[in-house]
Chain A
Amino acid sequence: AQTVTQSQPEMSVQEAETVTLSCTYDTSESDYYLFWYKQPPSRQMILVIRQEAYKQQNATENRFSVNFQKAAKSFSLKISDSQLGDAAMYFCAYRSSPSGGSNYKLTFGKGTLLTVNP
């Protein structure tokens, strides 16, 4: 079964600084997608960024970028120029096809709580 590990339960960053959240995963599949979701205090799950396993180029969305290392099965999220509104729980998630036994479900890590200090 696929597993997703977020080794940092909590992280903090100063406003305007850069922070990197770690995520590793375990899979034997070759075709899959990786996601980062943000959950602010409102509890809403918000998609931050996604990465296809076949693409070598790292995805970028404005201040958010990923460092995808397929061989190492690592998928870290970098937040640049951190803002107070970035404070949230961040979840790394993995999705593969039913051939990998997943029914297209998202497999989530346990989350990293990010605090942004003014």
Chain B
Amino acid sequence: EAQVTQNPRYLITVTGKKLTVTCSQNMNHEYMSWYRQDPGLGLRQIYYSMNVEVTDKGDVPEGYKVSRKEKRNFPLILESPSPNQTSLYFCASSPGTGLNTEAFFGQGTRLTVV
């Protein structure tokens, strides 16, 4: 089954403790991105990747890192999480960079930083 898999789905952590949210897609998609969803703000892009070893900042990159060593994986790294990073996170992938290509989303990761 074609899908984007995020792990974990729920995570509670403490301020400053490094964490990684994994994202993997099995559709051989080139384009991947991370979004955060906050009430009243919709979804905002954190980072994106056009292909392996090609990543760049989105609209809200502060406090996050990403890597794209393999085409299928695009982990989101929080080196020193803070409470303002409490949010719902989505990984998404698309087959290419066409405007009409559908974005496939993971199930979301609910992160709470205390």
Cα distance, A96 to B98, chains bound together (Å): 9
Cα distance, A45 to B108, chains bound together (Å): 9
Describe A's contact surface by its main secondary structure: loop
B44 touches which one: A97, A98, A108 (CB < 8 A)? A108
Q: Does B28 interact with chain A (Cβ within 8 Å)?
A: no
Q: Does A44 interact with chain B (Cβ within 8 Å)?
A: yes
Contact A45-B90, Cβ < 8 Å, known A31-B99, A33-B99, A103-B56? yes
The proximity string for B residues 81-111 relative to A, scoring 1 for CB distances below 8 Å and 0 otherwise, is 0000000101010100101101101011010
Which residue of chain A has the shortest Cβ distance to B42 in the bound complex? A108
Contact indicator B107/A44 (Cβ below 8 Å): yes
Q: Does B11 interact with chain A (Cβ within 8 Å)?
A: no
Residues of B within 8 A of A109 (CB): 42
The proximity string for A residues 91-110 relative to B, scoring 1 for CB distances below 8 Å and 0 otherwise, is 10001111000011110111
Cα distance, A103 to B97, chains bound together (Å): 8
The proximity string for B residues 29-66 relative to A, scoring 1 for CB distances below 8 Å and 0 otherwise, is 00101010000111111001010000010110000000
Contact A106-B99, Cβ < 8 Å, known A43-B108, A91-B42? no
A45 to chain B, nearest CB (A): 4
Cα distance, A31 to B98, chains bound together (Å): 11
A25 to chain B, nearest CB (A): 12
Contact indicator A105/B48 (Cβ below 8 Å): yes
Contact indicator B97/A43 (Cβ below 8 Å): no
Cα distance, A105 to B33, chains bound together (Å): 8
B40 to chain A, nearest CB (A): 6
Residues of B within 8 A of A4 (CB): 42
Cα distance, A95 to B56, chains bound together (Å): 17
- In the complex, besides A43-B108, A43-B110, A110-B40, 18 extra interface pairs with C-beta distance below 8 angstroms are A32-B99, A33-B99, A33-B100, A42-B107, A43-B107, A44-B105, A44-B107, A45-B108, A47-B103, A97-B99, A98-B97, A104-B31, A104-B48, A105-B45, A105-B48, A106-B92, A108-B35, A111-B42
